Chain A
Amino acid sequence: MEKSRENYWKTVLGLVRNILIVWFVVSYGCGIIFAGALDSIKLGGYPLGFWFAQQGAIYIFVALIFFYSNRMAKIDEEYDVAE
Chain B
Amino acid sequence: MSLQATTYLVVGLTFAIYIGIAIWARAGSTKEFYVAGGGIHPITNGVAIGADWMSAASFISMAGLIGFMGYGGGLFLMGWTGGYVLLAMLLAPYLRKFGKYTVPDFFKTRYYSDGATIVAVICLLAASTTYIIGQMTGVGVAFSRFLGVSNSAGIFIGMGIVFMYAVFGGMKGITYTQVAQYCVLILAYTIPAIFISFQLTGNPIPQLGLGSDFVGSNIPILTKLNTIVTDLGFSQYTTQVPGSKLNMFVYTASLMLGTAGLPHVIIRFFTVPDVKGARQSAGWALIFIAILYTTAPSVAAMARLNLHATVNTAVVSNGDVFAEESSIKYDTRPAWMSRWEVTGLLKFNDKNGDGRIQYYNDKSKDAAFLAKAEAAGWKGNELIVNRDIMVLANPEIAKLPNWVIALVAAGGLAAALSTAAGLLLAISAAVSHDLLKNMFMKDLSEKGELMAGRIAMGSAIVGAGYLGLNPPDFAAGTVAIAFGLAASSIFPALMMGIFSKTMNKQGAMAGMLAGIGITMFYVFAHTGILYIKGTEYYSLFGGKNFFFGIHPNAFGAIGAVINFAVAFIVKGFTEPCPEDISEMVENLRVPKGAGAAAADH
B90 / chain A contacts, CB cutoff of 8 Å: 16
B71 / chain A contacts, CB cutoff of 8 Å: 35, 49-50, 53-54
B279 / chain A contacts, CB cutoff of 8 Å: 65, 68-69, 72
- Asked if B216 lies at the interface with its beta carbon under 8 angstroms from chain A, I say no
The 4 closest A-B pairs by CB, nearest first: A45-B220, A53-B74, A44-B211, A65-B283
Q: Measured between alpha carbons, how far is A65 from B288 in the docked complex, in Å? A: 13
Decide: A58 near B282, CB < 8 A? Known: A19-B89, A32-B249, A47-B222. Answer: no
Taking CB atoms and an 8 Å cut-off, the chain B residues in 245-297 that contact chain A are: 245, 248-249, 252-253, 274-276, 279-280, 282-283, 286-287, 290, 293-294, 297
- Which residue of the partner chain, among B75, B283, B594, contacts A83 with CB atoms under 8 Å? B594
Residues in chain B within 8 A of chain A (CB atoms): 66, 71, 73-75, 77-78, 81-82, 84-85, 88-90, 93, 207-208, 210-213, 220-223, 238-239, 245, 248-249, 252-253, 274-276, 279-280, 282-283, 286-287, 290, 293-294, 297, 586, 589-594
Residues in chain A within 8 A of chain B (CB atoms): 5, 8-9, 12, 16, 19-20, 23, 27-28, 31-33, 35-36, 39, 42-47, 49-51, 53-55, 57-59, 61-62, 64-66, 68-69, 72-73, 76, 81-83
A83 to chain B minimum Cβ distance, whole angstroms, is 5
Q: Measured between alpha carbons, how far is A54 from B222 in the docked complex, in Å? A: 13
Q: Which of B245, B283, B287, B290 has the most CB of A within 10 A?
A: B283
Q: Measured between alpha carbons, how far is A51 from B211 in the docked complex, in Å? A: 9
Could you jot down 6 A-B contacts, CB within 8 Å?
A5-B590, A16-B89, A45-B213, A54-B66, A65-B84, A65-B88
Decide: A83 near B593, CB < 8 A? Known: A35-B71, A45-B213. Answer: yes
Q: A68-B89, A82-B592 are in contact. List 10 more A-B contacts (CB 8 A).
A: A16-B90, A20-B85, A46-B220, A54-B77, A57-B78, A62-B290, A64-B85, A65-B286, A66-B283, A69-B279
**Could you tell me if A81 and B591 are in contact, using CB atoms closer than 8 angstroms?**
yes
Decide: A44 near B238, CB < 8 A? Known: A19-B85, A61-B85, A69-B280. Answer: no
- Which residue of the partner chain, among B221, B275, B286, B589, contacts A9 with CB atoms under 8 Å? B589
Q: Measured between alpha carbons, how far is A55 from B245 in the docked complex, in Å? A: 18
Chain B residue with Cβ nearest A27: B78
A72 / chain B contacts, CB cutoff of 8 Å: 93, 276, 279
Q: Which of B89, B275, B280, B282 has the most CB of A within 10 A?
A: B89
A62 / chain B contacts, CB cutoff of 8 Å: 283, 286-287, 290
* Interface residue SS majority, chain A: helix
**Could you tell me if B238 and A47 are in contact, using CB atoms closer than 8 angstroms?**
yes
**Could you tell me if B290 and A54 are in contact, using CB atoms closer than 8 angstroms?**
no
